[in-house]
Amino acid sequence: MSYVAWLSRIRGADKSSAIQGTVRKVHYNFPDGAEMLEEYSTETGVVLRRAWKNRSDLLRKDDWTVELGDPIPQGLKKGGGAADGGFLVQESSTEPFLSKRVTRNAIEWRIRNLPYPLSTYTISCEGDQRTITVRTSNKKYYKKIEVPEFQRCGFAPRQEDLTVRHQSQTLILSYKKPPILVEMEKAVLVELQNVETVEYDNSLQCEDLLKGLIGQ
């Protein structure tokens, strides 16, 4: 998918929007039946959460896969269970788990419960696959991280734009946003300016607001 194709998909979706406090929630219904939920900071314009609704005819239930940010409230998950991608985990777990967030200038991943020193890790960017791979010399951990943002704008990540550090048993990867991704994000925000938005007061529970927004 290219930048133009992603923007065209955003424009072609039926969209609804609501603001509560400093968070704007946008729900997308795409012509192919897919659904996406995004949350933006009204102060910075940065996306805080992105999730996709998955339909399972076999299990006859819908569930949300979190691509970015916090898990979807459990009450919106008809079948319960955890979101894919390592974002919904128990804090007491000793297994490594991945979380992801974005800032104005970077995409950041944190892999917790990795006690090994920084010299143990090899992190590489696969430009043709638009992925980042983390492996350890002691063969205790391996992870290929898909980056949907790079897929959507057709960008091949470069090693020189990736920074790595390790602290408090957490490996932290930060990738500087390429200009094409920044441009794509700005174009989406411009498109969302045309979406009618309802504003709610803070007394409404987050879960109830989301249910109203997505029509459940």
Residue with tokens 């983390």, as numbered in its chain: 134
Instruction: Return d(Cα 55, Cα 64) in angstroms, integer.
Output: 9
What tens digit of pLDDT does each residue of 92-133 get?
Answer: 478 999 999 999 999 999 999 999 999 999 999 999 999 999
How is residue 91 written in tokens?
Answer: 């804090």
Q: pTM of the entire structure? A: 0.81
Beta-carbon count within 10 A of 175 CB:
23
- The residue count of the chain comes to 216
| Predicted pLDDT of residue 210 | 59
Mean pLDDT of 179-194: 95
| Predicted pLDDT of residue 208 | 57
* DSSP per-residue letters across 56-100: ETTTTEEEEEEEESSPPPGGG-TT--PPGGGTS--TT--S-EEEE
What tens digit of pLDDT does each residue of 40-49 get?
Answer: 999 999 999 9
Instruction: Return d(Cα 151, Cα 132) in angstroms, integer.
Output: 12
- CATH entry, 3-70+93-214, from 2.60.40.790, 2.40.110.10, 1.10.10.10, 3.30.1330.40: 2.60.40.790
> By C-alpha distance, which of 25, 76, 2, 81 is closest to 213?
25
